[in-house]
Amino acid sequence: MAEEVPIARSPIVPADPEVVAAGWAVSGRRSSAALRITDCMPLAKVAIKAPLGGAMAHGLGVRFGRSARQRWEIGEGEAVVLVVGAGPGEWLVLGPPRTQDRLRSVLCHTAAVTDELVSVIDLTHGRALLRLTGERSGDLLAKECGVDLADEACPDGAALRSAVSGVATDLIRDDVDGADRAPTTSYLLHCERSSGQYLFDSLLDAGAELGVDIDGYVPPGL
Amino acid sequence: MTVLREIGRAPDPMAMRLDTRPGEVVDRETAFTFYWNGHSYPAYEGDTIASALAACGVRIFSRSFKYHRPRGLLTADYLDPGCIVQVDDEPNVRGGHRLARPGMTVRPQDTWPSLAHDVKAANGLLGRFLGPGFYYKTFIRPQSLWPTYERVLRRFAHGGEVPATAQAPGGRPRYDKRFAHPDVLVAGAGPAGIAAAVAAARSGAQVVLVEEEHSLGGHLRWGGPADLTALQELRDLVGATPGIEVLTNSVVLGRYDDNWVAVVQRGLAGGAERLVKARVKCLVVAAGLLERPYVFAGNDIPGVMLSTAVRRLVNLYAVRPGTRAVVLTANPEGDATAEDLTTAGVQVVHVEDARRGGDVVRAFGRSGVTAVEVAGGRRLECDLLVTSVGWTAPVSLLTMAGNIPRYDERCARFRPDVARLPSGVMATGGIVGDGSTAELVAHGEATGREAANRADRLAREWRTMAPQGSGEGAARPAPRPESARIPELAPQPHPELFRGATHGIVDFSEDVSSKDLFTAVAEGYRYVELAKRYTTATMGPAQGKLETVNVVAIVAEATGRTIAETGTTTWRPPYAPVTLGALAGRSREPRRVTPMQPWHELHGAVPLVAGAWIRPDHYGDPESEVLAVRERVGIIDVTPIGKIDLRGPDVPRLLNLLYVNRWSKLDVGRVRYGVMCAEDGVVLDDGVTGRLDIDHYLMSTTSSGAATVWEWAERWLQTEHPDWQVQVTPVTTAYASVNVAGPRSRELVQRVVDDIDVSSEAFPYMAVRVGQVAGVAGCVLWRIGFTGELSYELHIPASYGLHLWERLLEQGRDLGVRPFGVEAQRILRLEKGHLIVGQDTDGLTRAFSAGLAGLVKLDKDDFVGMPELGWQRESGDDVRLVALRTADPALVPHEGTQLIDGNDRICGRITSSRMSPTLGRSVCLAQVAEHLAQPGTEVAIRLTDGGTAVATVSEHLAQVDLQGVRLRG
Amino acid sequence: MIVLTCPWCGARDSEEFGYVGELGARRPDPKAATPAQWRSYLYQRANIAGWTSERWYHRMGCRRFLTVERDTTTNEVRSVLDAGGLAEDQ
C-alpha cells in the first residue's frame, strides 16, 4: 500500500504563516530585523565517521574545527554543500533539501573505494538546525554559550561543539551576504532533534532585548 | 517624640540642599517625587534614596538589628549599614547607593510597628541579655521548642519582603546572564583603575572596566578643583579609547580558579540584574580603599558619619549633613572634610586632630547626636560628628586568588602581598599604596600595560591550541616585549586608630559592640575566626568591609596580642551581595519533546517529566488503556528510548563486552534482549539490539540510560580497546518510535507498512525489518514484547513521527486502537513481570538479584562485571527479585514499602505495585532476602499505618500469559 | 570552574567535561583476578594531594576521553592528552 511521501515536520513549530517548501512544513514569515533566527530543518544533514588521516578524511578535505563550502556531483546534478569538521574523525555534510539520499550514496560510494571503516548516517530528521544571522548574533550567543566567539577566536568557517543553553550544539560560523553584499555574521546551530524547540525558544528569549526576530525558511537556505 | 515629629511631619522640601557644587551629580533640571515611609519626598535625577532624604532633613533610616536603635547614615554609599530599605517589591536595597526614581515607594525594613516607635527597641534596655552567644545559649533547650524559637527569632531577623515573581513590574525578566572573555578586567574605576584600563586597551587588549558606583572616578569625584580636572581628563580618555567596555553600577563578586570572574550588573532596564561570567586573561584589582569607622561610645547615633560620607553628601549631592560639626581627623582627607563643611555653611565648632593625640571619648544623644566629649573631657554641642581615622584595603579579590594580606603597622592597614600574586592577577591604586593622582595614574598605566602583555601571551597560547583558526595569518600584532617596570606605590604613614577610650559598636549591621568581643575572648573565643562566629561580627550585610579590621584590632587588644599576630578573617565570595535571581539567570530548563508532543497536548495527555523528557503519563484513564492493549490494540510513543547506531567488524566484541549475555551468533534480521552491568556487577541498563546488516547493528537502551550507555560504549572503546573497529553514533531522536501492542497489532501494522511482510512466519518474534512505512522509507521495525502482547516497535524518521501516529489512529479506528501512556505501559509490564532498571533494581542490585540468572554467561571470555557476578552466584546470600501476591487482592502496597520477616527484621521491599485491570487484583514486584525467595514463602508487609499484611512469593515473575503465547502469536 | 585545555577543542570551561576519576590500577584479568585484586581496582583510590593523573570526558565537545595531569591542591593543569592516543596527524 505505497503512498505519497508525507509532509515532513521540524521539531520547531513553524511561526505563522505555515507554508510548505521542499516537502517540509516551514514558516513563511519574513523578517528584515537586524538579528534573525531561522529554522533550517529542511537542509539535508549527513553525518560521517571515518579514521583520522585516512583516505575518506582526505577526500572530505576539511579538518576538525573548520567548515568549507564545496560543489559536489550528486547523481544527476550538482549541489553546493557545507562540509563541517564536527569532531575528531567526525564530519557533518549539510546540503540542499531532499539531497540526503544522494549525498549518502555518494559518500557511501567514496567510502567503499577507500576500504576504511566509515559510517555514513542520514540525520536529516534526527537533528535540529537553526541559523542565527546579524551583527549582534555573537552577543546573543554570549548569553547562552561559554565559548569565546570573538572574530579572532572563531572566524568565518570555524566549527566547534559546546553547550548552548545547556544543550550540546555544533556551532558553525557561516557568514552570509547581507543586503549590500557585505558579509554579515551568521551561525548555524545544530543539535539533537528533541531539544530543538527548547533551544529555539531559549535563543528567542535571550535575544529579546537585542530585537531578535523569526525569519521563515526559504530554500535552499545554504 | 522628636523622632515621631520628624517622621510624621510633611517633609521640608530640600531644606538641607546646598547651592550648586562644582562636582555635583544631581540634575537640578529634573526633579520628581517618590515615597518614603508613606510620605512624598522630592528628589533630583542623580540623587540616591539616602541623599534625597538627607536633603529633606531625614536623619533616621532604620533600626539596628538587635537593639533596634535608630540608625542614620554612616558611609552614605552602598555599604551603609544604616540605610537598607524595601523599594517597591524589592527587599534589602542599599539606600546609600540606589538611585531615587519617580514614584518609587521606599519603606524602612524590620521596624514594627513603625520606624518611630519600635517595640523591639526594648531590647536595648535588655542589652545584657543579648550578649554574645545569646542565641546559642538561650534558644537551645528543649529541642521540642525549636519550631517556636524559630518563629520568634524570625521576627528579629534582617530582611524585607521577597518579590513573588521573577518578573519585574511590566513583565520584563528581572534577571539575566551572559558570558564574557575579556583580555583584561579592571575591578574598580578610580584614577588607577581608569589608567590601567586605558593603558591595557591602548596595548590592544579587550578591556572590561567594572565600577560599583554610578560613575567613574572614585575619590576624585568628591575632591577639590584639581581632582575634578583630573577626573574629567580620565573620563575623556575612557571615552576616547576603543576596546573598553564600561560597566558602572556593577561589581565583581568573586574571582575563582583560572580567573573565572563573576560580575553583577545592576540597574538595567526594568530593574534587572545581570550576572556576567567572565573568563579573564588578566584581572587587575583596583578596589581603592574603604574608610574605617571608629569605635567609641555612641558611635552609632545618627549624625556620626565617616568623612567620606560627608564629602559625598556635600560634594556629590549638595546636601548639608548637619549644622554644627565636630571633626576627628587623622589624615588629609579628614582635614579636607572640615574645609568642605565650612564651604557648605556648616559651622565646624571643633577639629580634633588624632595626629596630635586628639580623640573622641563619647557621643551623646538618642535619635541624633547632641554633643561630643573629646580628649581631656571637653564637651561640645553639635549635631554632626565626623571621623576620619583610617582606611581598609578591600583585598577580597586578591585573597580569593590565594594571596594572604599582611598587617602593616606603619599605615595601620592590612596590605596585599603583591609580589606573590599569580601571574593572571595584578593590583593597582590605593589597595597597593598611597600617592598623588599622578602617582596613582602612573602605577595604573604601568599595571595596565603589563596586564595587556600577560593577557596577550595567554591568548596566543589558547589560540594556538584551538582548531577553529582559519590559518590565514595571525590577526594580532607580534608579541610585545617583556614587562615594563611598575613604579613603587608606597603607603603613607598613618596612626593606628581602631577603638578609643570607651566601648562602642564594631559591627553596625549585626549590632556587635567591642564589649561583646571582649566578653567573647573572656569566654575563650580567643581566635578571631571563632570570636567572629560567636558574636556574628562581620557576618551581616556589610560582610566585614567596614568592620573586619576593627574586630581584629579589638580581639588583639583583648588577648594582648598584636594585630599581625591575630591575623585577619578569610574573605570569601561574594564580595557584594547578589540576588539568587541573578545567580539563576533567566528561567531555563532543558526540555525534550517527541514529534508527537503536539498531538499529546491536544488530546489531554497528562504530562510526565522524565529527566528532560516530557511524556504522556496517560490520557485520562490508564486502566482502560491497559485493557485496550490486552483486548485490542494500543499505541504508545516511545521515542525517548535510546537508540545507538553501531558499525564495524568488531561490534560483536563490543556487545559481548558490555552485555552479560552472548552476542556472537546473532543473525542479520534478528534482535536480542540484553542486560548491561557495571564492573561491580550492578545492573546498569537493558534493551534490545538488532542486527541490521553484516557490520551494522542498532542498539536500544532505556530512555533514561541513553546518554549513559553511549558514553559507556565510548569509554570502553576509547580507553580500553582503541584498536577495535567500531563506530558509535547516537540516533535516539533520528527516529520517532511507536510501540503497537495488542492482539490486533499485526492487523494494524499490516495496514501501514508499504513493503514489509508482517506475517508471523516472515516476521517472527525477536526479528527486525527495515523498510517503508506510511510512505516513508528507512524505517526500522522490530517485534518485541515489553507489554507481554504481540507488539511491533516502529521507528520512523522523526520528521514523519506525527504522520505515522495519526495514520495508526486513523487506520486502527475499526480495530478499537487507543493511545496509551507510560502509566499503562508500567502496569502492562508489571503484569508480565518485566523489570524496569532503576525501579526494580537499585544501585546495589547485581544481575543475579534481578532475576537475570538465565542471561548471565559466566563462561564468556570477558564482560563488564563478570568477576563480581561469578562471586555473587557462589555466595548466595543476596536479595532476589520476586513477584508477590498479597492475601488481600485489593491491597496495593506503596512502592518502597518494607517487608519484614518473622523476627520483625527488614527482609526486603516492594519495588513496583499496581492494581492490575487485567487480573482484577494487585500485582507487585519485590526484592526479598534470598532465603525467603522460594515460591510459596509468606512474607509480611509493613504498612504505612504500622499494621502488617501477608503476601506470598509467586512462582513466576509474570502474572499474565506465563507461557508467552501472546508475545509469540 | 577551571579551564581544561582540550587537545582537540582548545581551552574550555571544565563545566563542559565530565570527571571520570583518578587513573589507578589497570583492569585486572577478569578470569584470574582475586576478589581483593578486583575490588582494589573498583574502589581503591590514592586521593593524592598534589599532582595526579585523572580521566575526564569532554561531553559537550569532542566527546573524547582525556588524560589530565592536575595538581589537586592548586588546580594547575600541566597536560591534557587524548586517552586513546588519537591525533589529527596520525
DSSP B897-917: PEEE-TTS-EEEEEEEEEEET
Cα B517 to Cα B65: distance, rounded to the nearest angstrom: 17
Cα B672 to Cα B460: distance, rounded to the nearest angstrom: 53
Can you tell me the mean pLDDT for B613-642?
97
CB atoms within 10 A of CB B376: 10
ipTM for this prediction:
0.97
Q: What pLDDT sits at residue A73?
A: 94
Q: Which residue of B has its CA nearest to A157?
A: B470
Cα B645 to Cα B623: distance, rounded to the nearest angstrom: 35
| Span B420-455, pLDDT tens digits | 999 999 999 999 999 999 999 999 999 999 999 999
If you compute the radius of gyration of chain B from its CA atoms, what whole number of angstroms results?
Answer: 37
| Span A14-56, pLDDT tens digits | 999 999 999 999 999 999 999 999 999 999 999 999 999 999 9
Supply B946's cell numbers. 504500622
Which percentage of chain B shows pLDDT scores above 70? 91
Position B77 pLDDT exceeds 70: yes
Label the pairing between strands A18-21 and A90-95.
Answer: unpaired
Helix (H, G, I), strand (E, B) or coil at B270: helix
Band (B68; pLDDT cuts 50, 70, 90): confident
Cα B741 to chain centroid, rounded: 45
Secondary structure (DSSP) of B99-155: BP-TT-EEEESS-SB-SSSBGGGHHHHTGGGG-TTHHHHHTTS-GGGHHHHHHHHHT
Q: Which residue has the higher pLDDT, B681 or A222?
A: B681
Contact assignment for A63 to C62 by CB distance below 8 Å: no
Mean model confidence pLDDT for chain C:
94
Supply B38's cell numbers. 508613606
Q: What pLDDT sits at residue B5?
A: 39
Asked if A60 contacts A69 with a C-beta cutoff of 8 angstroms, the reply is no
Q: What pLDDT sits at residue A55?
A: 96
Can you tell me which residue has the cell 602612573? B442
Which among B742, B766, B738, B765 is positioned nearest to B753, based on CA atoms? Answer: B738
| Span B907-962, pLDDT tens digits | 999 999 999 999 999 999 999 999 999 999 999 999 988 899 999 999 999 999 98
Contact assignment for C31 to B722 by CB distance below 8 Å: no
Query: Which amino acid, B680?
Result: D
| Span B266-283, pLDDT tens digits | 988 767 899 999 999 999
Q: What pLDDT sits at residue B7?
A: 44
Of B63-67, B635-639, B685-689, where does mean pLDDT reach its minimum? B63-67
Supply A196's cell numbers. 530543538
Dihedrals phi, psi of B617, to nearest 5 degrees: -75, -45
Q: Is C72 exposed, middle or buried (0-12, 13-18, 19+ CB in 10 A)?
A: middle
Supply B661's cell numbers. 549475555
Q: What angle separates helix B528-535 from helix B548-559, to the nearest 10 degrees? A: 110
The torsion angle over the Cα atoms of residues A186, A191, A196 and A202, rounded to 10 degrees, is: -60
Position C62 pLDDT exceeds 70: yes
Cα B365 to Cα B347: distance, rounded to the nearest angstrom: 19
| Span B139-189, pLDDT tens digits | 666 667 766 766 666 555 556 777 666 666 566 677 899 999 999 999 999
Contact assignment for C84 to B718 by CB distance below 8 Å: yes
Starting at the earlier edge strand, list the strands of the sheet with B642-647.
B671-677, B683-693, B696-701, B642-647, B727-730
Cα B738 to Cα B634: distance, rounded to the nearest angstrom: 10
Q: Residues of A with CB below 8 A from B180's CB?
A: 142
Min Cα–Cα distance to chain A from B716, Å: 17
Which among B272, B307, B277, B271 is positioned nearest to B289, based on CA atoms? Answer: B307
Q: Residues of A with CB below 8 A from C15's CB?
A: 146, 163
Position B291 pLDDT exceeds 80: yes
Contact assignment for B867 to C35 by CB distance below 8 Å: yes
Cα A41 to Cα B733: distance, rounded to the nearest angstrom: 14
SS (H, E, C) C30-90: CCCCCHHHHHHHHHCCCCCCCEEEEEEECCCCCCCEEEEEEECCCCCEEEEEECCCCCCCC
Q: Which residue has the higher pLDDT, A4 or B106?
A: B106
Q: What pLDDT sits at residue B10?
A: 46
Mean model confidence pLDDT for chain B:
92
Can you tell me the mean pLDDT for B638-642?
97
Which helix or strand (DSSP H or E) is residue B308 part of? helix B307-311
Position B646 pLDDT exceeds 50: yes
Helix (H, G, I), strand (E, B) or coil at B50: helix
Position B258 pLDDT exceeds 80: yes
Q: Which residue of C has its CA nearest to A90?
A: C62
CB atoms within 10 A of CB B966: 19
Which among B805, B799, B802, B815 is positioned nearest to B752, based on CA atoms? Answer: B805
Supply B350's cell numbers. 571643633
Contact assignment for B181 to A117 by CB distance below 8 Å: no
Q: What pLDDT sits at residue A206?
A: 93
Can you tell me the mean pLDDT for B103-125?
66
Helix (H, G, I), strand (E, B) or coil at A174: coil
Cα B23 to Cα C38: distance, rounded to the nearest angstrom: 75
Q: Residues of B with CB below 8 A from C8's CB?
A: 467
Neighbouring-strand partners of residue B698: B645, B690
Put simply, whether A53 touches C (Cβ < 8 Å) is: yes
Which helix or strand (DSSP H or E) is residue B688 part of? strand B683-693
Q: Determine the length of chain B.
A: 969
Asked if A186 contacts A137 with a C-beta cutoff of 8 angstroms, the reply is yes
Q: Is B898 exposed, middle or buried (0-12, 13-18, 19+ CB in 10 A)?
A: middle
Cα B647 to Cα B728: distance, rounded to the nearest angstrom: 7
Contact assignment for A194 to B466 by CB distance below 8 Å: no
Contact assignment for C65 to B714 by CB distance below 8 Å: yes
Q: Which residue of B has its CA nearest to A9?
A: B799
Secondary structure (DSSP) of B422-477: -TTEEE-GGGT----HHHHHHHHHHHHHHHHHHHHHHHHHHHHH-TT---S--SSP
pTM: 0.92
Q: Determine the length of chain A.
A: 222
Secondary structure (DSSP) of B344-359: TT-EEEEEEEGGGT--
Cα B153 to Cα B134: distance, rounded to the nearest angstrom: 12
